[in-house]
Amino acid sequence: MTIRKYVKLGLSALALSISLSAVAEEDPIKVGILHSLSGTMAISETVLKDTVEMLIEKQNAEGGVLGRKMEAVVVDPASDWPLFAEKARELLAQEEVDVIFGNWTSVSRKSVLPVVEELNGLLFYPVQYEGEESSENVFYTGAAPNQQAIPAVNYLMNEIGVERWVLAGTDYVYPRTTNKILETYLMDQGVAKEDIMINYTPFGHSDWQNIVSDIKDFGSAGKKTAVVSTINGDANVPFYRELGNQGISASDIPVVAFSVGEQELSGIDTGPLVGHLAAWNYFMSVDSDANYDFIDEWIEHTGDDEAVTNDPMEAHYIGFNMYVEAVKKAGTTDVDAVKDAIIGVSVPNLTGGYAAMMPNHHITKPVLIGEIQDNGQFSVVWETPSTVAGDAWSDFLPGSRDMIADWRKPLFCGTFNTKTGKCGASAGEMAAEDAE
Amino acid sequence: MSIIRSLTLLLIAITMTVFPAVHAQDNDPGQTLLGNLADARPAQIEDAINAIATSGDVRARSWLDAYGNNRLSQVKDTGRIVVVLNNRGLDWTISDALTGEDLGEISRRELDRIPVNNLIRGQLDGIKAMLDLDAEDRDIRLASAESMMGKVEAPIVAPLEERLELEEDPKVRERIEAALAIYRVGEGDIEAVDVLAGSLHSRARAALNNAADSDDPELATKAKAALETIEQKLKLNKAAETLYFGLSLGSVLVLAAIGLAITFGVMGVINMAHGELIMLGAYTTWGMQQMLPDQPGLALILSIPAGFMVAATAGIIIERSVIQFLKGRPLETLLATFGISLILQQLVRTVISPQNRTVVTPEWMSGSIVVNDALSLTLNRMYVLGFALVVFAALMLIMRRTRLGLEVRAVTQNRNMARSMGIRATRVDIMTFALGSGVAGLAGVALSQLTNVGPNLGQNYIIDSFMVVVFGGVGNLWGTLIAGLSLGTINQLLEPWAGAVLAKIIVLVFIILFIQKRPRGLFPQKGRAAEG
């Protein structure tokens, strides 16, 4: 009898303390993480999930935001593009998250766009992409083509004296759009059509013999030649290996890559790659205290001494801090208030400067060119003198030239045509239309 | 006598100890040389390098090497110039650049790298090549003369000509002459065109191409004529090269498909997990190299039996646990093995890592055999081609000459008859499946040298493997060999003008049409076995 009483007492005390703590602690800010943890993209996206979790932990250790803790809600869209849309709906409608960090491939972003616009969510997208898009609900913290491709080409043209160009890419939307932009840009700069060679290969292409041999031929026409590579992920390894085997060194025909980062290099024997180039907005080897601190935290978080950091991780670092600042500025997590507040917010990046959110939902970034070293790191050989603002609509594509995006009132439009003075369809509507 | 000797010894000892001490002092000329390099603005770097190269200092070569390899750094606080010996991880091992004194580990935050880039590296290579031209070893001289091609600039013409007078080896002479001729053609020298006329070297062609566009009509016509003869020669080389590319791609297809030719072709099991068995073989190679980190070559050779065993064991487990219960139900076998393939992939992702693993190519497998300046055959593919042929020959031997091969053929032709003759059909099933799986493992070992070792490795080859087996004729190993090699060659012939994406599609359409016409493939089985 008495025992039962004690148990009852204890239980009610427990219930009381739980309800008390719930009251004391306001609802946490829910952060949705929409990155593939299985399937082909797991290789790249898993670390981004870990990055956001680390940032949340750190923010909570500092007392959260507005006195509220942050809480991660992780879902796995399994590298399956339509599943991205379903998982985004789950995050916004059921979990009611305040913000989403997610996506890698452009096609997955296009799949999520209509959902995020319909349910009025916030999405931070951390990867370099082809541009030609600006959504009210999406913040693009990765590079637009003018923050990566164009400066890289300028570097090759002005510093290295390249006159002949091979544009090699994997056959999907990002390389095709980027190469179209680059081709127009190069021709504007006076490069003749026969000095540009364009080549596309399927995903995961592994037999590069013929293509490398063609590049070698193309490069023996007497003008300095370079390869601008938008080859994606895995396929790079056999490509560089073939270059090495056919005796093409970086001082003969340098390759500048837009999709090869520290993460990709960690799975490669870097010997044959030394001296080839990559263009990013961040390198792990950047000499700044903020960067060293970030790397130390990352190594502690992963427990792996060899863990590497990369450009999309920095983009999440910037995006996360911008979100925190915007919430503080708005004093609420209300989506519309945060959307207004975030424009103009400026936070430190990891390369020793600042990143600011522009009215077109893109950010300012420095552009760095790095050479691959034998330890799988890049050494910075060139950088833009100041940061470059992301351009949603490229100046080098017909039709896109006259478009601007400005999410401040009164314009408040992502597809404003300066010639006709009209606002076009939203990014989500266009993505939905393409899908049909 | 003995006193004098001991005195000399003492003297030597003194100079030996005193000499390095001199270096450590501030008046070491190296301090100024490296200091100038560290402080140089981009435009001054060339002078700083040249100063080091011409200083005659015995350490000059090692400094230039360290600089070119991105290993020369300056300690932020003290300004001391150091060589980074190990640049992995958070703390780096360094030594003093001047004295070579070991300075232990230092945080990378404390170091300021002395920047180098491709342009500077190119200049360094030129300087190093010039130093190497005096080497005793003829191969080093040849390599350095080779790297001179297209890099000769005005200041080194005179020393190079002097060097040419002294050179006795005909091959090295030829290279130096060509290197000089490239420079002279660039300067508008018509005579020099003759030297380059027969050369297939890409830099020689580049120089002639430039000359063909020059304003001097006489030079332009002569260069054009020289180019034409070169183009003729190139065409032949190009054809040989394409054939080699085709055979090498074909050998990869054969390797990937030949295991399937046994499990699918002979046993009739549709094994969608075949690609993952290949993947297991590749991961075995990685595992072996992890166990023997200093001997990648030995590890690779040991992986051949190990990869076979691992994949064969996995094959036995799959056969015993799933496939034997689904005999004669191809659709269910297909679905079940597809499930197994997904399980194996995710298993590797969870247990090992979703990231690709680094498999090192041993020294003797990298590089290429140079036939002439335009045609070189890459070594790693040569080995894979040879390996594919050896594996094929061994399989043929097993199927034709051993008791196992006889039993396998008997069981597949008429299971009941074979059993009544006293053959244990179940045991033969296990052995056959293990053999087919083991060969897939061998393919994985070979592929680890050509492509990425990651969880998706198998997926990339499963479709190709089925294509080859079906095209060659189910149940026929010769068919698989011929089909693999010819599909590879067709693909490589198409690629230059159709592009990689279209070439794949054309090959696929071709196979579909071919199967319409000849449903049993290139080499159909004849006789009663064909009916079953």
B131 confidence band (pLDDT: 50, 70, 90): confident
Give the closest of A234, A299, A377 to B356, CB-based. Answer: A234
Q: What does the pLDDT read at residue A378?
A: 92
B1 pLDDT band, cuts 50/70/90, is: very low
Residue A84: CB partners within 8 Å, gap ≥ 6?
Answer: A34, A77, A102, A103, A108, A111, A112
Query: Which stretch of B130-144, B263-277, B425-439 has the lowest confidence by average pLDDT?
Result: B130-144
Cα–Cα nearest to B248, from A234, A236, A232, A206: A206
Q: Which of A31-35, A160-164, B157-161 has the lowest mean pLDDT?
A: B157-161
**Tell me: the pLDDT tens digits for B309-322?**
999 999 999 999 99
Question: What one-character DSSP code corresponds to residue B529?
Answer: G
Mean pLDDT of B381-395: 95
Higher pLDDT pick, B89 / B363:
B363
Contacts of A42 in chain B (CB under 8 A): 349, 354
- Could you say which architecture CATH assigns to the domain A149-257? 3-Layer(aba) Sandwich (3.40)
Quick one: average pLDDT of A55-82? 94
What's the pLDDT tens digit per position in A135-161? 999 999 999 999 999 999 999 999 889
Q: Given A199, A202, A209, which is nearest B504 (Cβ)?
A: A202
Confidence grade of residue B136 (pLDDT, cut at 50, 70, 90) = confident
Share of chain A above pLDDT 70, in %: 93
Q: Does position B371 have pLDDT exceeding 60, yes or no? A: yes
Classify domain B237-371+384-530 at the CATH topology level: ABC transporter involved in vitamin B12 uptake, BtuC (1.10.3470)
pLDDT band at A66 (very low <50, low <70, confident <90, very high): very high
Provide the residue ranges of all domains of chain B, joining segments of one domain with +. 14-119, 133-214, 237-371+384-530
Residue of A nearest to B121 (CA): A251
Residues recorded for chain B: 532
Instruction: Please tell me which of the candidates B109, B206, B249 has its beta carbon nearest to residue A207.
Output: B249
Q: Which amino acid is at B263?
A: T
pLDDT at B217: 84
The three-class DSSP label of residue A200 is strand
User: Once rounded to an integer, what is the mean pLDDT over residues A193-198?
Assistant: 94
pLDDT at A21 over 70: no
Q: Which of residues 11-50 of A touch B (CB under 8 A)?
A: 38, 40, 42-43, 46
Residue B370, SS3?
Answer: strand
Phi, psi of B307 (to 5 degrees): -60, -40
DSSP string, B423-470: --HHHHHHHHHHHHHHHHHHHHHHHTTTS-BSTTTTHHHHHHHHHHHH
| More confident of the two residues A269 and A248 | A248
pLDDT bracket for residue B452 (50, 70, 90): confident
Give me the mean pLDDT over the A23-40 stretch: 81
Q: What is the CATH number of domain A29-144+287-364?
A: 3.40.50.2300
A29-144+287-364 against A149-257: fold identical: yes
pLDDT digits (tens, 9 = 90+) for B405-427: 999 888 888 888 889 999 998 99
Q: How confident is the model at residue A436 (pLDDT cuts 50, 70, 90)?
A: low
CA-to-CA distance for B346 and B340, rounded, in angstroms?
10
Please choose, from the candidates A120, A125, A124, the residue with its C-alpha nearest in 3D space to the C-alpha of residue A336. Answer: A120
pLDDT tier for residue A391 given thresholds of 50, 70 and 90: very high
Question: What pLDDT sits at residue B300?
Answer: 94
Of residues B289 and B90, which shows the higher confidence score?
Answer: B289
8 Å CB contact between A175 and A232 = yes
Among the ranges given (B102-111, B280-289, B377-386), the one the predictor scored with the smallest mean pLDDT:
B102-111
| Contact: B456, A40; criterion CB under 8 Å | yes
> What is the chain B residue with the closest CA to A371?
B117
Q: CB B70 to CB A241 under 8 A?
A: no
- Closest partner CB to B380 (pick from A221, A245, A247): A245
* Predicted local confidence at residue A273, as pLDDT: 82
Can you give the pLDDT at residue B211? Answer: 84
List Cβ<8 Å contacts ≥24 apart for B506-509: B508/B467
Q: Please write the tens of the pLDDT for every residue from B224-242.
A: 888 888 888 888 888 998 9
A 328-357 near B (Cβ less than 8 A) = none
B85 → chain A, closest CA residue = A375
Average per-residue pLDDT for chain A: 89
Structure tokens at B40: 């140089």
Rounded mean pLDDT of chain B?
Answer: 85
CA–CA separation, B192 vs B171, rounded Å?
18
- The rounded Cα B59 to chain-centroid distance in angstroms is 33
| Contact yes or no for B304/B281 (Cβ under 8 A) | no
A210-220 confidence digits (pLDDT tens): 999 999 889 88
- Is the pLDDT assigned to residue A22 strictly greater than 50? no
The full DSSP string for A394-411 is -TTSTTTTTEEEE-STTT
Nearest CB among A211, A223, A247 relative to B500 is that of: A211
What are the structural domain ranges in chain A?
29-144+287-364, 149-257
Helix/strand/coil (H/E/C) assignment for every residue in B250-286 = HHHHHHHHHHHHHHHHHCCCCCCCHHHHHHHHHHHHH
Q: Give A283-330 pLDDT, tens digit per residue.
A: 999 989 999 999 999 999 998 888 899 999 999 999 999 999 999 999
pLDDT over 80 at A9, yes or no: no
Q: Does A292 touch chain B (CB under 8 A)?
A: yes
Say yes or no for a CB contact (<8 Å) between A371 and B118: yes
- Top-confidence residue, B193 or A2: B193
Most confident of A40-49, A216-225, A288-297, B499-508: A288-297
Q: Do A220 and B202 touch (CB under 8 A)?
A: yes
d(CA A400, CA B440): 51
Span B390-404, pLDDT tens digits:
999 999 999 999 999
Q: Would you call B252 and A267 a contact, using CB atoms and an 8 Å cutoff?
A: no
Mean pLDDT highest for which of A14-28, A356-370, B349-363, B462-476? Answer: A356-370
- CA A49 from chain centre, in angstroms, equals 13
Whether A287 and B499 lie within 8 Å, measured CB to CB: no
Phi, psi of B107 (to 5 degrees): -65, 140
Query: Is A275 close to B492, i.e. CB distance below 8 A?
Result: no
Mean pLDDT of the region B54-64 = 84
User: What's the whole-number mean pLDDT along residues A67-71?
Assistant: 94
Residue B367: the pLDDT is: 78
pLDDT of B2 higher than 70 = no
Residues of chain B neighbouring A241 (CB-CB closer than 8 A) = 361, 380, 450
> B361 and A221: CB-CB below 8 Å?
no
Q: Please answer yes or no on whether B500 and A202 come within 8 Å at the CB atom.
A: yes
Q: Please compute the mean of the pLDDT values over residues A239-249 and round it to a whole number.
A: 85
Q: Which residue has the higher pLDDT, A16 or B342?
A: B342
Q: Is A269 on the interface with B (CB under 8 A)?
A: yes
In this complex, the residue of B69, B109, B206 whose CB is nearest that of residue A292 is: B109
Q: Residue A287, class by beta-carbon neighbours within 10 Å (0-12 exposed, 13-18 middle, 19+ buried)?
A: middle
Least confident of B117-126, B379-388, B485-494: B117-126
How far does B110 lie from chain A, in Å, by closest CA? 10
A chain contacts of residue B109, beta-carbon cutoff 8 Å: 289, 292
Residue A14 has pLDDT above 80, yes or no: no
